[in-house]
Amino acid sequence: MTDAPTLLCLAMLLLPLTAALLICVVRAPLARDRVNVAGAILTAGAALTVAALAMTGTRGPVLGGWLQLDAIGGPFLAVVAAVGLCSALVSPAYLRTAHESLASPDTERAWYYACFHLFWAALLALPLIGNLGVAWVVTAATTGVSALLVAQSRYPKALEAGWKYLVLTTVGLAVALLGIVVVGAAAPAGGGLAGLSWQGLTASAAHMPRSAALVGFVLIVAGLATKIGWAPVHNWLPDAHSEAPPPVSALLSAALLPTVMLIAWRTRIALEPAVGARAGSMLFIGFGLASLAVSVPFLWRRMAWKRLLAYSSLENMGMLALGIGFGGRLALAGVVIHVAAHAVSKSLGFSAATPLFVVRPSAKHAPAHGLLRANPSLAAAMGLSLGALSGLPPSPLFFSEVLIVMGGFATGHTLAAALAAVLLALGFLGLARVLVEDLMARGPQRAEGDGAGRRALLALTIVAGVLLGALAVLAAFLPGSGFVRVLTAGTLP
């Protein structure tokens, strides 16, 4: 008899696929909007339930071992579910205001919704996949469908951004595939695909030659770094975020990047008996510091809103790499809080982009200024997002960054932790400058805009503020929780 976790996982994966199919079948635009919303609510409900089971003790293989419920995947699955739901709910508003497309509105709506739900389905599967080879295949599948979403308007800049994203990430995935082949060849004979499961890799890692395992590990992580958006292989990130529809940008930044990073994290845990703890830490710390250092100069520049959020993603993915590299209870507690808080803040920021482009069309390619006077609701949403992302106290990202840096000192990575603190301070000052000089600067007179849109945005801002406040409170007791002890142990049942 099929158990409840298996049924929930099946529902979580089949609901977005069913929604994508129904959207292609129905014809009326309003019906497509309703199928999108209904499918998103049901999908998020199933996914959040699965995530809760994983984080509260229900662990083990499901669906024949293809999926794995564990404490590491639970928080990432919850984030993907919440970000996907938010993006799906704001998508109808985006489509009503998206007039720049070479396709007809009906074709655009159908393709957008179908690709969106297919992309979301793949992202929901990634945190729970129990096999490195299968995780690579699903990650590659996200590349194709998300590239279509990035290039959705079909205008030259969007097509260029979509191709750049597709080519660079495909090259990275090819490097990661080479690493998987190296690891598979170094494993005891006869493993096959089953030997690439997290449990199989852990069991065989102790018998692998260290040099071969280390080469494979570096290739896998370096290849996945292109999808994660770590420097110096992040070049697709600003262009893709700038040209993609705002709800898709939220999925790319707040869901895709951290879930692919989870695959790299699981690989480190599985291969640690072969490569050693220090080698894994140094690789993650190196990518983290490089990402922070590259992001800082851009965070000081005045640029378009979505492009600024893209460079903020580079900084935040760098912090997550540092937290995983440092390890220990404090740093891993910071990682969990950082993933959730970044998702809320970034979803709010990209949701604000849709009304921003209506009120200020020039903001697509130029800095927005004077919004506090022109549209207070919009300025409040953007200010809350930017303040949270900058780590302005009492933002939960402030607490998560403090925990990660303290975790670095506690585990003996003193130099890296000190350098990270300096780079974080510089990034904070850059984003604070944008917050004060752009959003709060003198600008045009107040615009009337759409009353319903302003009320919806204000409601979203309040919800995001409440969630960020709750996460800030969570930061006070999470470091000592049993959940973090499980994460520290790197559990892979």
Average pLDDT over residues 126-139: 94
Higher pLDDT, 369 or 483: 369
223: enclosing H helix or E strand: helix 210-228
Q: Is the pLDDT of residue 491 over 80?
A: no
Identity of residue 464: A
Q: Residue ranges of the alpha helices (H) in 26-100? A: 29-55, 73-97
Contact 209, 187 (CB under 8 A): no
Task: Take residue 271 and report the two structure tokens written for it.
Answer: 């291969």
| Predicted TM-score of the model (pTM) | 0.93
Distances (CA, A) of 115 to 310, 361, 438: 22, 26, 35
Residue 31 has pLDDT above 70, yes or no: yes
CA 357, distance to chain mean position in Å, is 23
Quick check: 25 and 105 in contact, CB under 8 A? no
Omega of the bond prior to 16 within 30 degrees of 0, cis? Answer: no
Enter the DSSP assignment of 197: B
Least confident of 385-399, 420-434, 439-453: 439-453
For residue 211, which amino acid is it? S
* Helix 236-243 / helix 156-186 crossing angle, nearest 10 deg: 130
Separation CA 290–CA 217 (nearest Å): 19
Backbone dihedral angles phi then psi of residue 60, each to the nearest 5 degrees: 140, 175
Q: What number is the average pLDDT over the span 380-394?
A: 89
Tell me the C-alpha distance between 191 and 311, whole Å: 41
Q: Strands (DSSP E) along 266-399, which ranges? A: none
Please check whether residue 16 is in contact with residue 118, taking contact to mean a CB–CB distance below 8 angstroms.
Answer: yes
CA angle 134/136/139 to nearest 5° reads 110
Residue 217 · residue 268 · CB < 8 Å: yes
Give me the residue spans of the domains in the chain: 277-493
DSSP code, position 6: H
Residues 6+ apart with CB under 8 A from 6: 62, 63
Q: pLDDT tens for residues 77-129?
A: 999 999 999 999 999 988 888 765 555 667 788 889 999 999 999 999 999 99
Amino acid letter for position 227: K
Distance CA 203, CA 192 (A): 14
Instruction: Please write the tens of the pLDDT for every residue from 45-79.
Output: 999 999 988 888 767 778 777 888 888 898 999 99
